[in-house]
Structure 1
């Protein structure tokens, strides 16, 4: 019988033990920070109805459908698909259990998601997202918008991944200006084009906007939001001086409130800045939006993003449930940090200690030592193979154990 060649599936990552331990460390750190702000854990199924995923900004070319290899006549799985993010399933969850939840509902969720994107550096078809969201009942204070970057600032500071910037904008700024330049009816397409400015350049974005019907003057006004080296206060002053329309003005006022909230919560000035060129491509964002990048490693790309949505659960209920959230794409982020040398995987074992097997007839003693160390709270591995001590020491060095216990007859006799 021929053997199947073991090989990875493109876009579906897996880590070696030292990388996985670092991944788990980062995931636990994120979880701890989320819980310190009072967010409660939930988990939703990997599968949702396809129509639900498509209704809120999903791209059908990127959504994986679900079916069995051998379908029966019922075709019962035909309308099911794997979720592409955790926000859309959250909307269904909140609407379903609204009567049993306390609002504002604060949740965190750490699960894998699936997107049929073209695999490339930092882009996978399966990856973990680490989300927090606050959902209100009919209304939600902008204080919650200000709190999100405070959480993220604490996480990335403790990770020690170098200087980073949380960029912030408000979708109403973009929507107001797009309406003013005649692209209100093509708002979603215009925002998606504008969101790609770093990838395809200003000239290509300008051409796409003209194809949607924008004049040269309108294109220039929109592109004026992108780029530049203004500080947060300079951008706010410039934006507040623009006379556009009511939607634009409302976005600027909300942006001002959120920035003041950052400062009240002690988020360092060098951890955030207003960037009116930030768009975020997903359709469901309606207000504040965020994106985080590493200052010294722009090639890593976005490591965190999110924003506010006024009524994500509208497909399920007439009850208005506004929310704001932010997400860390952990699987996408860590390999890029490894490649950039920002994070270095450590040991490939969680055990601090290796108990060596001095001789085959002392295996029971080695097991007892291991049990005693574990009872004392020290993660311990016992070496059980009949190998020379030199080989056992090489094994410990390769795995990264801090200590090796070598207990011969004299040590065992003296205790």
Structure 2
């Protein structure tokens, strides 16, 4: 078989990178649960009409069908892989609302699929870690101030091992829509979509598009760009918006909510969050607060954590389940961490101890030592072959295993054990039922590369 060609857009980490990924995910799970979020998992496949009903995503959806599917078989049509976890979660809530307690706080860590043009930070298969709070009929606003703090708590715990700090940018769609409406725009979604492209195409081209596509006057386009340039780390954002003129009840409501989010973050985690009025989010289901988060010093990567308030995504007739959620783009974040060699794992295997084998006839003794160590939570493996001890030590060294255990017996047949730290060469007597490796060596750790 010839060497296969790599498939772009479907990342496969090396063993050490996978250890880093798992520990980042463990940190996220731990923090989410500390804040009271329960784990859920939804199916990978959704009806296509459900996936396409919110946002401009139709060109990126992967359709699912059997290779030999009958075109007339309805069971083989209309299915697609989910491109995010919010739309499937909304469907889940509607289907199972009678069995859920509200407000429902859930986290979900799964793969998603999106037909992107592969590049760093954009993949066709990727892992997301979502947290959402959904209410029945109504949802208190304070959850929109809680979610940024949960994410910051989760990611700030990784700063001490070398991951970059994050900065969250927040806006409120009511602010944007109210201001644009006060300017006289009718196609508010169209203005939002163009503003969302500011970082990609720049102010000049956004201005041109506002005029050419939406019929804006030069004065309207200039006002939109002035509005989108506003940033602030405190409640002064409201004063700066009002200084531009324009009046609308939706604008006033949105400014009040935006100030609450900014001030709550400023008190709990100063410097973590900034009001940034160019933030719009491309998906149409957001109705209030919207979040985007960048890695400090790596802003060119784009947002690694985003989300917002959605009031109408989960609704059926008179039953409405408003929610707010944030998604951590785990694969996007780690792609930069690995490409820039910011961190790695202290070793590429979980194994802390390799038990040497003196001869195949005595392998049972080595197996017994390994069993004793594993019973006490020490990851252990037995040497694959009974070669010279020097070769067994080199085998452990190549794999990054820090300790080699030598079992034997004295002249009276009593067991004698020694363990060697192959990094320092120190070798000492040891008891398999009592010996412990240093805490830093018990499991692989994330360390600066």
Q: TM-score, normalised by structure 1?
A: 0.93
Give the deviation of 1:46 after TM superposition. 0.4
Paired position in structure 2 for 1:237: 239
Contact 2:179 2:246 in 1 (8 A): no
| Distance in 2 (alpha carbons) for counterparts of 1:162 and 1:234 | 28
**Would the aligned equivalents of 1:236 and 1:274 in 2 still touch at CA under 8 Å?**
no
For the pair 1:149 / 2:148, whether they are aligned, the reply is yes
Q: Provide, for residues 12-32 of structure 1, a one-character-per-residue CA deviation record: whole Å limited to 9, x for no partner.
A: 111111111111111111011
Tell me whether 212-221 or 78-87 shows the greater mean CA deviation.
Answer: 212-221
> What is the distance in 1 between the residues matched to 2:130 and 2:290?
14
1:42 Cα deviation (Å)? 1.0
**1:199-218 Cα deviation digits (max 9, x unpaired):** 11111111111121111111
Residues 287-345 of structure 1: CA deviation (Å, up to 9, x unaligned): 0011111122223321101100011123x443111100000011121021122233324
How many Å apart are 1:401 and its aligned residue? Answer: 2.0
Report 1 or 2 for greater relative contact order, CA contacts < 8 Å, sequence distance ≥ 6: 1
Higher strand share: 2
Match in the other structure for 1:104: 103
Residue aligning to 1:332: 332
CA deviation string 1:143-202 (max 9, x = no partner): 1000001111111111112332111110111111222233332x2232122111111111
- Range moving further from structure 2, 220-229 or 377-386: 220-229
Counterparts of 1:58 and 1:209 in 2: how far apart (Å)?
18
- Aligned pairs for 1:333-348 (under 5 A) are 333-348=333-348
Cα deviation for residue 5 of structure 1 reads 3.4
Question: Secondary structure of the equivalent of 1:9?
Answer: coil
Distance in 2 separating the partners of 1:163 and 1:332: 15
Question: Quick check: 93-102 or 52-61, which moved more?
Answer: 52-61
Confirm whether residue 57 of structure 1 aligns to residue 49 of structure 2.
Answer: no
Deviation at 1:413, TM superposition (A): 3.1
Secondary structure of the structure 1 residue equivalent to 2:354: strand
What's the TM-score once normalised by structure 2's chain length?
0.86
1:75 deviation in Å?
A: 4.2
Does residue 30 (structure 1) correspond to residue 28 (structure 2)? The answer is yes
CA distance in 1, matches of 2:74, 2:59: 21
Per the alignment, residue 202 of structure 1 pairs with 203
Give structure 1 regions of 4+ aligned residues with deviation exceeding 6 angstroms. none
Q: Which residue of 1 aligns with 2:277?
A: 276
CA distance in 1: counterparts of 2:230 and 2:209, whole angstroms = 22
Asked whether 1:248 is paired with 2:251, we answer: yes
Match of 1:83 in 2: 82
- Flag the structure with higher helix content: 1
Q: CA offset at residue 246 of structure 1?
A: 1.2
Question: Equivalents in 2 of 1:231, 1:256: separation in Å?
Answer: 10
Measured at CA, do residues 236 and 414 of structure 1 come closer, stay the same or move farther in structure 2, by a change above 3 Å? same
Say whether the 8 Å CA contact 1:142–1:257 is kept in structure 2. Answer: no
Question: 2:408 touches 2:416 (CA, 8 Å); kept in 1?
Answer: no
SS in structure 2 at match of 1:270: coil
Instruction: Choose the corresponding residue for 1:221, options 220, 223, 227.
Output: 223
Q: Report the aligned-residue RMSD.
A: 1.9
Cα distance in 2 for residues equivalent to 1:89 and 1:230:
34
Task: State the structure with more CA Rg.
Answer: 2
**Structure 2 portions without partners, runs of 5+:** 418-449
CA contact (8 A) 1:338 1:345 kept: no
SS at match of 2:170: strand
> Runs of 5+ in structure 1 lacking a partner?
none
Conservation of the 8 A alpha-carbon contact between 1:181 and 1:215 = no
Counterpart in the other structure of 2:192: 191
2:285 is paired with a residue whose SS is coil
SS across alignment from 1:392: helix
- For 2:189 and 2:366, locate their aligned partners in 1 and report how far apart those are by CA, in whole Å: 66
Distance 1:213 1:96 in 2: 43
Q: CA deviation at 1:386?
A: 3.7
* Deviations 1:197-250 (CA, angstroms, capped at 9, x unpaired): 111111111111112111111111111133466443442331254443111111
CA distance in 1, matches of 2:231, 2:103: 37
Change in CA separation of 1:228 and 1:311 when aligned onto 2, cut-off 3 Å: closer
